[in-house]
Structure 1
């Protein structure tokens, strides 16, 4: 059974289940979802808690051994199994399938419960046998990433839950400072609760006490380039530079999506009458959440222009590797120039 994060609490009130799977890219949300599960387990008598991390070399036999061995006078036990990569491997997949089939089968003792805690699990991994087996036998909870568009609403709800009063501008400023770093957002809201429990939170207060915790990755940078957001492109690139992100990784990510844009642009020129662009997007592996930015990119530049961007990225890759001379101050300026071109700006 799959349960969304907002309804987890109401689902737990219906009774504690012997098998849970928590996963998501946001560590904060995963850990916060784990708390009510632990509390419900305690109320159900699962007082003995065992913790394991499935790192390379982990003995998956332990999972079944501990779930099947119980002292006559021992408490019910809750096993927390952390799966950092979201990929258990062949042995782990078999062990999880066995657990799902046998420990929750009719006649099972019910003295052991398992909570599997993962990072992000992509769509392909969600179609594997072990994931489906856990979903059939237990409860699966995804903790989805909070996007930049969703962040202000999330912060507003968090501030309200903390009993704080606030201005819309304060929410906007806090969103700006902590974008891409949900843990920092939660920490700063806790700090505001301690410092200003009865005062209305204004933009001035945010500016005074909040440090700039914005943290980005190469994928958010590529998305900003596709969306054509000049401000976000320059801001994220500066952040990646401060964090000493390898330029070759940035160029690889940009080239990968630019290559797809070239292929899509060519395919759209020969698209059958009545065929929708979304069908092409699906064919080229574009997620529905990225349809808008990809469509904006295709409308902004023509196929020859995207092909020129791809050539410039290839040339910049040679510059990084010392096989072509820099045409500007450094590689970061080269990347910025190319990406502003992706946004539709013509810069010589």
Structure 2
């Protein structure tokens, strides 16, 4: 059975299949889809979770034992296999093909793959698993469906995003799902006491007389320190909560750490920009950042951000805005 992203949640509410294949390079959608499966599996009593990462040294012959062995607590388990960077080798393919013929009742098998090409689609292991379960191909969301996706995502934060407001937000983010998700999380942090309408979206995101959090983040990763500090001061003057600024920094650093990992593993910048749908106006800034900082550097900066979070929460003495300025200067080198 083949499902779209929007069909997955209703399907999981009705039933659980023996096998799920999540294909595509839309990272945010895939994270959401995997999260939906994990939540549904836990609700159905699949309390165990076994994840097999893409480690070069893993002996795939062990997969057979893992699938067919009985755990000590006799718990139902969700098995997650990561084939994003390369498909299963001959040993794994043979095991998966045989497993598809006779799935274990107390196991849900989940495969995370890249885009399914014609060669993979014709392979025996893939066709066997497709017959035994569900395939969810995660493609970029068309502009006309983006407001629907935003409304659904806002609902997870207990926000009522009005259709016209969702349309405006879709125009604002230019189809960038990550920017849309950031905007919704920002609105959630503001804890609005009413449905999110056009007026609120305009006040939060599109007031041209004010700097936005996105202006700050863009300047920060571009390495434009004078403008970054200027925008930061403007946000402080507008009574922006420091926690919002820190959230924007941390969110961007997590994404950049993932980008840096992909570059280290051999992905070209052109491939990265296409796969992650990074708009042309941000590509130069992202490239400059990744030329300067590695994934490990990003993790170190996230540790620094966590220290600022403790200051904001009052666990450590300090002035939050001063800490944020020092962070910006550290990023400038």
Alpha-carbon offset, residue 190 of structure 1: 1.5
Structure-1 separation of matches of 2:68 and 2:169: 53
Partner residue of 1:296? Answer: none
Partner residue of 2:96? Answer: 96
> Could you tell me whether the CA contact under 8 Å between 1:148 and 1:179 is conserved in 2?
yes
Pairs within 5 Å for 1:1-348:
1-71=1-71, 73-85=73-85, 87-101=87-101, 103-104=102-103, 109-148=104-143, 150-159=145-154, 162-165=158-161, 168=164, 171-172=167-168, 175-177=171-173, 179-180=175-176, 182-198=177-193, 200=197, 201-207=200-206, 208-211=211-214, 218=270, 236-244=279-287
Aligned pair in 2 of structure 1 residues 140, 17: CA closer, same or farther (>3 Å)? same
Aligned pair in 2 of structure 1 residues 167, 142: CA closer, same or farther (>3 Å)? closer
Structure-1 separation of matches of 2:90 and 2:171: 41
Structure-2 separation of matches of 1:112 and 1:64: 13
Structure-2 separation of matches of 1:64 and 1:90: 13
Aligned pair in 2 of structure 1 residues 218, 156: CA closer, same or farther (>3 Å)? farther
Aligned pair in 2 of structure 1 residues 78, 72: CA closer, same or farther (>3 Å)? same
> Could you tell me whether the CA contact under 8 Å between 2:3 and 2:135 is conserved in 1?
yes
Alpha-carbon offset, residue 177 of structure 1: 3.9
Say which structure is richer in helix.
Answer: 2
Aligned pair in 2 of structure 1 residues 126, 175: CA closer, same or farther (>3 Å)? farther
Aligned pair in 2 of structure 1 residues 210, 151: CA closer, same or farther (>3 Å)? farther
Partner residue of 2:313? Answer: none
RMSD: 3.5
Alpha-carbon offset, residue 172 of structure 1: 3.7
Structure-2 separation of matches of 1:45 and 1:158: 25
Structure-1 separation of matches of 2:214 and 2:49: 38
Structure-2 separation of matches of 1:167 and 1:110: 42
Large movers: runs of 4+ above 6 Å = 213-217, 219-222
TM-score, structure 2 normalization:
0.57
Q: Indicate the SS of the match to 1:116.
A: strand
Q: What's the CA shift string for 1:141-193, capped at 9, x where partnerless?
A: 2222224564355335544664345584774456444643x233213201112
Alpha-carbon offset, residue 52 of structure 1: 0.9
Structure-1 separation of matches of 2:39 and 2:128: 25
Alpha-carbon offset, residue 139 of structure 1: 1.6
User: How many equivalent residue pairs?
Assistant: 227
Q: Indicate the SS of the match to 2:214.
A: coil
Structure-2 separation of matches of 1:220 and 1:13: 34
Structure-1 separation of matches of 2:39 and 2:279: 39
Alpha-carbon offset, residue 67 of structure 1: 0.9
Structure 1 segments unaligned to the other structure (5+ residues): 223-234, 246-348
Q: Indicate the SS of the match to 1:244.
A: helix
Structure-1 separation of matches of 2:191 and 2:170: 15
Larger radius of gyration: 1
TM-score, structure 1 normalization:
0.54
Structure 2 segments unaligned to the other structure (5+ residues): 219-254, 260-268, 289-333
Aligned pair in 2 of structure 1 residues 57, 73: CA closer, same or farther (>3 Å)? closer
